[in-house]
Copies of this chain bind each other. A is one copy, B any other.
């Protein structure tokens, strides 16, 4: 069922290899840089192999408070974790309910609702950032986890993906459940959620990474360093005024910042991959 003989086998493999390089080289460079001392980094350009400091920079980063902030790296990682988890979980709850309402209920404003959610697609947080800031400030949610999380929770993308999945559920399944005496909530709980387990895991991972990588909003809404996130701290390290940028710390932080997303992926991988691959059987 697929093209098997290609004629352009060699070309495609070369392209693939180049693609791999393109994706992995930066990560490798970041890692090697993080194992050199600062003076090394300012005398050589882009070291290609592990330096003599080894993991020393990491030990130092995790034990001392971050330069320029009176907060430890672990606190920053924890803040990022809370924010990313909160955003991912919140997005999923909202999206499940919204998609459920749109697909399975016939109410007068269904079409309007669809369009409203659709419109939020073009209003990512960056665009509506100023008025949102005002609202959050008025509600005294600056420098708090809820202030970090709540404004990022509405997710048109997740709602759409779930909606597409719900539309593939045969209507007979809904009817069978009605005949079996399952009301709307019971249907959601007993049938729909168990069926969308893999999709929810996949969404959680994607949304967790999205939340983890947020920059602009956490920057605006936190002034207290104890609520700062890792990604924001990275940017801080780069703007040192007249001092030299501590590249070994920056790269080590970048590598550390990649840890939790990778961990979440590994934990949910079983479901996640199934959710992405299952159409292939």
In the bound complex, how far is the Cα of B98 from the Cα of A12, in angstroms?
A: 10
In the bound complex, how far is the Cα of B4 from the Cα of A19, in angstroms?
A: 51
Q: Is the CB of A119 within 8 A of B23?
A: yes
Beyond A23-B120, A29-B131, A113-B16, is A126–B9 a contact (Cβ under 8 Å)? Answer: no
User: Chain A: interface residue count, which band?
Assistant: 35 or more
In the bound complex, how far is the Cα of B279 from the Cα of A164, in angstroms?
A: 7
In the bound complex, how far is the Cα of B131 from the Cα of A25, in angstroms?
A: 8
A11-40 toward B: CB 8 Å interface, digit per residue (1/0)? 011001001101101110110010000000
Choose the segment among A71-79, A85-93, A141-149, A166-174 that binds chain B (4+ C-beta atoms closer than 8 Å): A166-174
User: Which chain B residues lie closer than 8 Å to A23 at the CB level?
Assistant: 116, 119-120, 123, 154
Q: Is the CB of B27 within 8 A of A123?
A: yes
Is the contact region of chain A dominated by helix, strand, or loop, or is it mixed?
helix
Chain A residues within CB distance 8 Å of chain B: 1-4, 6, 8-9, 12-13, 16, 19-20, 22-23, 25-27, 29-30, 33, 46, 101, 103-107, 109, 113, 116, 118-124, 126-132, 134-135, 154, 160, 164, 167-168, 171, 174-175, 178, 184, 187, 206, 209, 213, 215-216, 231, 235, 247, 250-251, 254, 257-258, 261-262, 265, 276, 279-280
